[in-house]
Structure 1
Amino acid sequence: MQTSPLNLAQELKEEGYLIDEEAATTLFLALALDKPCLIEGPAGVGKTQLALALARVEKRKLIRLQCYEGLDINKALYDWNYAKQLLRLQVAKTDDWDELKVNLYSEEFLLSRPLLESILSPEPVLLLIDELDKSDEEFESFLLELLAERQVTIPELGTISSKTRPVVILTSNNSRDFSDALRRRCIHIYLTYPSLEREISILGSQAPELSERLTKDVCGFVARVRKLPLQKLPSVSETIDFARALNALQKVEVNYGELLGTLSVLLKYPKDIAKLEERLKKWELEASQLR
């Protein structure tokens, strides 16, 4: 267990993740109080990466459930091995249905999905429920027992409790609101785009091959781009990709007139790229007037 938020932040840094003091304190408290941690924020600000880094710091096996529309219990918690059950029926030596039913619906025929796997694991795990906002409200309600008690109920078997108490991290891109019941069970972290200084530190850590000049230029440029009314603002990971792209082109600085063809690394929608291309012409003119 971590001894302090500062210690946690340092260990995350050693795993390649830079976290600010406020978020480190909140995450430390989630661990200390043994509460699930709900990490919210725009796509690409490092929510999933924080969970992955924490699993390494805590030396826990990572079990990840990627949420999507239509996710149900059979895909998230458990299912029955119907082929194996059918074989058992074919070789059964009794016609007593009650006896057969007990045998067929036992752990021998259970297929563990990520949630049940995290409960049954004999070793400590970190359960990452990624992009929970993509699932529906019914699935969200189903999670409440696991979040509060670290246990799940299977109708045919009863309640199964965890022996190793998994660390539970949930992430959300805020595409929909969650219920009060779910929020009440979690401690919350909200991550947003990093400050210019922090993004320079992140880029320096993740892409040490870049020159200091290019690192600062790219982060300053991206900070400026994020002020535009775009459909999707560039994420931290896209900042890193953009910087590496310029480095691959042997650029030593950001020159507004030399960015055509590189913007699709930074932005993902044609309308956003077109809008930025128009703005670049204005920025280039302004820069030339200052020379």
Structure 2
Amino acid sequence: MSGTATGPTGEAGDGARRAAGPPDSPDEVRRRLENVGYLVDEGLATACFLALRLHRPVFCEGDAGVGKTSLAGALAGMLGAPLIRLQCYEGIDASQALYDWDFPRQLLHLRAAEAAGVTDVEGLEAELYDRRFLVERPLLQALRIQPSVLLVDEVDRADDEFEAFLLELLSEYSVTVPELGTLRATTPPVVVLTSNRTREVHDALKRRCLYHWFDHPGFARELAIVRSRLPAVSARLAEQVTALVQALRSEELVKPPGVAETIDWAEALDALGATELDAELAVSTLGSVLKYREDTERARSMDLSAVLALRAAGA
């Protein structure tokens, strides 16, 4: 396992905002990420350290639910910086990701000027494209707010044109707004790009980044993640849930569960008041961990009691 969140993501809280300066080694990156609830191995800690030192994006690929998106939130918490998220989707274009003009406010300003008898047409036109009417989208926010962590989530869902635009922006960390000129980040944001590999992202963008593949964790690391994220869940239940998820991943499933589903399952069982798991309870709560009919049918055909017995025996 490369890295998995064990704490909340999103903008850094007040405590995180008081964090110290940039880490001076991969080992310090690992320790500080663990302090905000995100467990990493040496490879990912090194990639994050180099991203901070060299101002290069980290490109994260892997199955859904293995902690790619959560890495950005953890870095934001570690650095005490705001997390700015751009969710990619089919058809997204530069204006939706970069900036737009607030046309309703511009129109109100124009009407107010006309009512006040303003006759300086050129001056009024210049006022309409003042910074106060600029609507900043995530990419422009990340260039302006310093320091910041920019998450470009599921970049594989965007098209080739947007990918090319993104490559140019990440190479220069600047953008030209015709009405305002060139806006440049004096300190580049920390950038995390994620891909679920629904399509291959072009090599040009990958070459600009530090690449890291996120795999599913082994039993010990996944158990540590569950225990860290859900300390109120009984140790016995956490072990059993983790063992069952590991067994499910060894099957030919449409969508193997990620660590996020492991945590969801343990949390659901704890909400039901369970302190340990049996096959009947596991089957009745499969909807917390598996999301396809074919996968739940496959799980029901497994000898879940045998898996739990092996874990009880310490196998």
Give 5+ residue unaligned stretches, structure 2. Answer: 1-21
Residues 249 and 149 (structure 1), Cα distance of their counterparts in 2 relative to 1, 3 Å cut: same
Q: Which of 215, 218, 229 is the matching residue for 1:195?
A: 218
Whole-Å separation in 2 of the counterparts to 1:58 and 1:178: 28
How far off is 1:276 after superposition? 1.0
Tell me the CA shift for residue 153 of structure 1: 2.1
Alignment of 1:217 onto 2:240? yes
Query: Residue 22 of structure 1 aligns with which residue?
Result: 43
Query: Which residue of the other structure, out of 23, 26, 34, is the alignment partner of 2:55?
Result: 34
Report the alpha carbon displacement of residue 184 of structure 1 after superposing the two structures with TM.
1.6
Is 1:162 aligned with 2:185? yes
Q: 1:57 aligns to what?
A: 78
Equivalent residue number for residue 105 of structure 1: 129
Q: Distance between the aligned counterparts of 1:12 and 1:95, measured in 2?
A: 55
1:227 to 240, 243, 250: 250
**2:9 aligns to what?**
none
In structure 2, do the counterparts of structure 1 residues 109 and 244 end up closer, same or farther at CA, with 3 Å as the change threshold? closer
What corresponds to 2:230 in structure 1?
A: 207
Task: Describe the shift of the 1:285–1:192 C-alpha distance in structure 2 as closer, same or farther (beyond 3 A).
Answer: closer
Gaps (5+ residues) in structure 1?
none
Count of residue pairs the alignment pairs up: 284
Q: Alpha-carbon deviation of 1:264? A: 0.4
Instruction: State the Cα deviation string for residues 76-135 of structure 1 (Å, max 9, x = none).
Output: 111112223334444251455xx65544334232111111111122x3111111111122
Counterpart residue type for residue 203 of structure 1: V
Partner in structure 1 of residue 166 of structure 2: 143
CA shift, 1:25, in A, is: 1.1
Alignment of 1:200-279 (within 5 A): 200-279=223-302
Whole-angstrom distance in 1 between the partners of 2:133 and 2:210: 36
Aligned match of 2:104 in 75, 83, 93?
Answer: 83
Question: For residue 152 of structure 1, what is the amino acid of its counterpart?
Answer: V
Give the distance between the partners of 1:286 and 1:25, measured in 2 at CA: 36
Contact 1:221 1:254 in 2 (8 A): no
2:186 paired with 1:186: no
Q: Distance in 1 between matches of 2:36 and 2:264?
A: 20
Per the TM alignment, residue 181 of structure 1 is displaced from its structure 2 partner at its CA by: 1.8
Residue 177, structure 1, aligned to residue 217, structure 2: no
- C-alpha distance in 2 between matches for 1:33 and 1:285: 50
**2:100/2:137 contact within 8 Å kept:** yes
The alignment's TM-score, normalised by the length of structure 2, stands at 0.83
**TM-score, structure 1 length as denominator?**
0.90
Where 1:65 maps in the other structure, the secondary structure is strand
In 2, the alpha carbon distance for the partners of 1:42 and 1:36 equals: 19
Q: Structure 1: how far apart are the matches of 2:298 and 2:93? A: 40
- The 8 Å contact of residues 27 and 189 in structure 1, kept in 2 or not, is answered as no
CA contact (8 A) 1:145 1:152 kept: no
